[in-house]
Chains A and B, each alone.
Chain A
Amino acid sequence: DAKTTQPPSMDCAEGRAANLPCNHSTISGNEYVYWYRQIHSQGPQYIIHGLKNNETNEMASLIITEDRKSSTLILPHATLRDTAVYYCIVRAYSGAGSYQLTFGKGTKLSVIP
């Protein structure tokens, strides 16, 4: 399975864009990049996913480099409620008809007032 590397922590000023990097240099051609976040004392929440092209939804944008070895999650206008641990995950196929998500340690994003 491809592994991901993320910085352990980041700060972002409220109202500014938060750019969270992820390195996945061993990703294979059919593996997707997923982003989840976990606010303290809650279950993880799905944010966005992509394969090759950049993706945008109501929560965030995902920028994947052309060689697919890294990606950046962008929260365009961070709020205090975006303070959470953000997980970058490469989806692996584990057989038996299901895809396993392997959660690493993520990046602890602190949005500062």
Chain B
Amino acid sequence: DVKVTQSSRYLVKRTGEKVFLECVQDMDHENMFWYRQDPGLGLRLIYFSYDVKMKEKGDIPEGYSVSREKKERFSLILESASTNQTSMYLCASSLRSGNEQFFGPGTRLTVL
């Protein structure tokens, strides 16, 4: 079974802090994705990566950056966390373009 793991289930940070969210997949998938999920807004794509060191902006990249130095790991970075970045963050991976996406359990981030 594909396993996508995220570094934390719950995280509390202060405004202005730099935040790293880590995602690891163990099935040699090419594509990895970061979404955020907010009540009433559904899932929104922040960034995705289709290869090591490659990244593409999703629908809401502002305030975020990403890093993919190794195939199995995709990191989401909040350079200076703000309260409007309080959300559930979901990581996903897929074998290749067009294949189904497998999601991690999510990280609930609260920025105070």
Contacts and interface: CB of A to CB of B under 8 A. Distances in A.
Interface residues of A, number: 24
A103 B4 CA distance: 19
B27 interface: no
Contacts of B97: 97-99
A33 B5 CA distance: 26
B87 interface: no
Interface stretch (A19-27, A38-46, A64-72, A73-81): A38-46
Interface of B: 4, 31, 35, 40, 42-45, 48, 50-51, 54, 56, 58, 90, 92, 97-98, 100-106
A84 to B, nearest CB: 13
Contact of B42 (A34, A41, A104): A104
Given A42-B105, A44-B43, A100 B100 contact: no
Contact of B101 (A41, A94, A96, A101): A101
Interface of A: 32, 34, 41-46, 49, 87, 91, 94-106
| Closest 6 pairs between A and B when the two form their complex, measured CB to CB | A43-B103, A103-B43, A46-B100, A97-B50, A98-B50, A103-B42
